[in-house]
Amino acid sequence: MESQDIKNAISGILVVDKPVGMTSHDVVEVIRKGTGIRRAGHTGTLDPRASGVLVILIGPAVRLSEFVSASDKRYQAILRLGSTTDTYDADGRFTRQASAPVNITEEQFEKVLKGFIGEIEQVPPPYSAVKVQGRKAYEMARQGEEVDLEPRKITVYHLEVLEWAPPEVVIDVHCSSGTYVRSLANDLGAALGCGAYLVGLRRTKSGRFSLRDAVPLRKLQEAFAAGNWYQYLIPAAEALADWPAVELNPDEVEEVKHGHRVKAAPDSKPGLVRGVSMAGELIAIMDLATGEDGSLEWQPKKVFFS
């Protein structure tokens, strides 16, 4: 078994293909137990009914959570037309049931679907973890209380029909973080006039990580038992690989580790960047600032090694 010192130094990402039936927190617990590292967390809840990409940050990399969680997501969603439920998915009670076959063409469906592309306002489902005055909405809904949730702005980048087999339709959804695909299904059904709810969901991408990067949880558990799970650990810097990077020399690494600013090139652009060592190790998230003498400097915003 590794020494605790080695474990404390481990930092990185495990991209898991979550199976249906487990909560995101269940998966985190499996990883904590398998790695022996308590410091771990996911970057965006995936409902128990949903499967697919779940990004888990381990060790000091958990401090990347706020940046990685904000990444856009991609899903394959299966909708059933003609009925609605109080949870907007197959777990709920029917609030409307189809009395006749759905009389909607694929062309009609696609026309309404396109109306949901762009920046839109979306009300989260009443059975969700959104908090209302400190209480979770789903707890209030289960107790029969009226749940009045505020609409929030989300962005839907792309929607496409992958399979048309009414009353079921499979769609590809590329959206901003914070989007509820269940709400999208319900709103789509309302716009069509026939009702709809979500019967299946698979996250195919979270930020820059896709199913190609994901390891089935069962395979990861086998690797924990065999002691070779490190092969699946992705360096923390990879999570923000599409961010600009500033290479720090050894002296600058020491300065940044202690929260001190370092000089920036005169042509540096404003915005957050990755500060990386010459070995490619993520040292800090930095932002451009102006020094006392008017020169540009990189100000560490979040340091990952001390």
Q: What is the CATH number of the domain that holds 104?
A: 3.30.2350.10
Indicate whether 81 and 199 sit together in one domain.
yes
Indicate whether 33 and 181 sit together in one domain.
no
Instruction: Return the exposure string of 22-40: e unless at least 16 CB atoms fall within 10 Å of the residue's CB, then b.
Output: bebeebbebbbebbebebb
Indicate whether 223 and 196 sit together in one domain.
no
Query: In the prediction, which pLDDT does 76 show?
Result: 98
Query: In the prediction, which pLDDT does 111 show?
Result: 97
Query: In the prediction, which pLDDT does 67 show?
Result: 85
Mean pLDDT of 75-81: 98
Percent of the chain with pLDDT over 90: 68
CA 301 to chain centre: 22
Question: How would residue 3 be classed by pLDDT, with cut points 50, 70 and 90?
Answer: low
Q: Last residue of a domain, which of 187, 206, 225?
A: 206
Indicate whether 96 and 197 sit together in one domain.
yes
Token pair belonging to 81? 């037309």
Mean pLDDT of 11-35: 95
Query: In the prediction, which pLDDT does 249 show?
Result: 96
Residue numbers of the domain that contains 33? 4-70+208-238
Query: In the prediction, which pLDDT does 277 show?
Result: 92
Indicate whether 119 and 202 sit together in one domain.
yes
Please list the residues that pair with 145 across neighbouring strands. Answer: none
Indicate whether 276 and 232 sit together in one domain.
no
Indicate whether 146 and 229 sit together in one domain.
no
Structural domain count of the chain: 3
Indicate whether 78 and 165 sit together in one domain.
yes
Indicate whether 84 and 174 sit together in one domain.
yes
CB neighbours of 52 closer than 8 A, spacing ≥ 6?
A: 17, 18, 46, 75, 201, 202, 203, 204, 211, 214
Q: Are the beta carbons of 43 and 65 closer than 8 angstroms?
A: yes
Indicate whether 89 and 202 sit together in one domain.
yes
Indicate whether 199 and 215 sit together in one domain.
no
The reply to whether 47 belongs to the active site is yes
Indicate whether 134 and 227 sit together in one domain.
no
Instruction: Determine which one of 17, 47, 89, 213 is catalytic.
Output: 47
